[in-house]
Copies of this chain bind each other. A is one copy, B any other.
Amino acid sequence: MSKVGKLRLGAFMYPAGHHVAAWRHPDTAADATTSLTQRIAFAQAAERAKFDLIFLADGVAAHTDDLKSLSRTDEWAVGFEPLTLLSALAVVTERIGLVATASTTFNEPFNLARKFASLDQISAGRAGWNLVTSSNPLELENFGNISQFAHQDRYARAEEFADVVLGLWNSWQDDAFLRDKHSGLFFDREKLHILGHRGRHFRVRGPLTVSRSPQGHPVVVQAGSSEAGKELAARTAEVVFTAQRTLPEAQSFYADLKGRLEKYGRHPDDLKIMPGVFPVVGRSEAEAREKFEQIQSLIHPDVGLELLSNLSGGVDLSAYPLDGPLPDLSETERGKSRQQLIIDLARRENLTIRQLYETIAGARGHWQLVGTAETIANELEERFNKGGADGFNIMPPTVPGGLDDFIELVIPELRRRGLFRTEYEGRTLRENLGLKHPAHRAPHREPGSQAAE
């Protein structure tokens, strides 16, 4: 099957850039975290370049466990809340998808289903929900009245949460609304469906108070790559955002996840796998290398160490010699899969703690490409053609410079190779990603429900 013209691109929106020291770079706005103007410029630039979507990560705690490093970073401390920000950006864009991260651990399914459905209406069918679970202790402390969930329980809750949200998004048939002024009938009550969910974690009656959007409902995105995460993705996700650094790792993840779809009655094309890529683009290899070294030089050691500690599973590494090897890490409850990626990297390349954080600090654990448009396009094309990815989530090292570099240098090269669109195919996120419009599925009807009355 030819995949020409079908590579998907997301633009990962960190305010000053994806690099941990981006806010210190001379070309970025130091106040980008709280500048709406900067965010609008980012979204509009990505839309002009025909990116499929912009992607917002999220966490619900400032990293106050280490104030020394926190006070040297921007987006670990403050920023916009994703759903309010994307609602604002929806009004100043027309085609680009708007994907926000929101946790199943700290939200109520009715509230979350409603907010994303509302964003989907506001954007006329361009919303996506990146479903995550949370286990960060600092986040748990901001919701201390909710019981803490162990890793296994978090996923059980997430599974039920996803079912409730999808059920609520099917409350109204697409053609339920008659709006007949003459008869006074606003909707056909046979086309209203009461969910009546009663599960272990949630009891939610419904219906949702938002009607379906032009794309049916928001696109479901996931990022977990643990066993439980992959299984949940295979059952419910339409896009998976992931982090693999090498081609074999990417191929193995891709084949594994796509192979799980069939047992849920799904086709491999029903889910798009988009690994993160951190590209440092130069007009020559030397220029790219120079750009990379410039920004790497801005990483404060406090910040590098804290980032490594976070990515390696919350372990405090400050007691170990910076120029010694990574110690043995006990498996913790949080981020098992990411922890293993970091450990594998350190062992494979025999890195000290300092070398390790320098290696990963920029890309924050993601695939890092430093080179010309041609060499970067070669890498992306190979991974796309060899079963490692359906597209990529681009993480520009700085904004707007790093995003502009990718748009001005790499995207034309991808187009020359017939890999990337020159115009949007559709008006909704789902159409542009090549995902099917989800037919309305009547949720299970509560016995004795008034919907049949």
Contact = CB atoms under 8 A, between A and B. Distances in A.
Given A23-B179, A110-B143, A210 B118 contact: no
B189 A144 contact: no
Interface string A180-219: 1100111111001010001001111111011100000000
Interface stretch (A47-55, A65-73, A249-257, A280-288): A65-73
A87 B180 CA distance: 31
A417 interface: no
A24 interface: yes
A206 B142 CA distance: 6
A312 to B, nearest CB: 21
Interface in A143-163: 143-146
A62 interface: yes
Given A85-B122, A88-B88, A111 B60 contact: yes
A207 B62 contact: yes
Interface stretch (A30-38, A226-234, A371-379): A30-38
Contacts of A207: 62, 64
A406 interface: no
A298 interface: yes
B111 A106 contact: yes
Interface string A38-62: 0010000000000000000001111
A88 B145 CA distance: 32
A170 to B, nearest CB: 14
Contacts of A26: 181
A251 B201 CA distance: 48
A143 B201 CA distance: 11
B110 A203 contact: no
Interface stretch (A76-84, A337-345, A423-431): A76-84
A143 B189 contact: no
Interface in A68-113: 70-74, 77-81, 83-85, 87-88, 90-92, 106-108, 110-111
A451 interface: yes
B121 A111 contact: no
Given A84-B118, A184-B72, A108 B110 contact: no
Nearest to A200: B145
B65 A142 contact: no
B142 A110 contact: yes
A23, A121, A141, A177: residue with the most chain B Cβ atoms closer than 10 Å: A121
Interface string A362-385: 000000000000000000000000
A214 B230 CA distance: 44
Contacts of A181: 23-26, 30
Given A26-B181, A85-B122, 5 more contacts: A60-B110, A78-B172, A91-B91, A106-B111, A138-B205
Q: When A and B form their complex, which 8 residue pairs have the shortest distance between CB atoms, in order from nearest? A: A144-B203, A81-B118, A87-B87, A30-B179, A141-B205, A84-B87, A84-B118, A110-B142
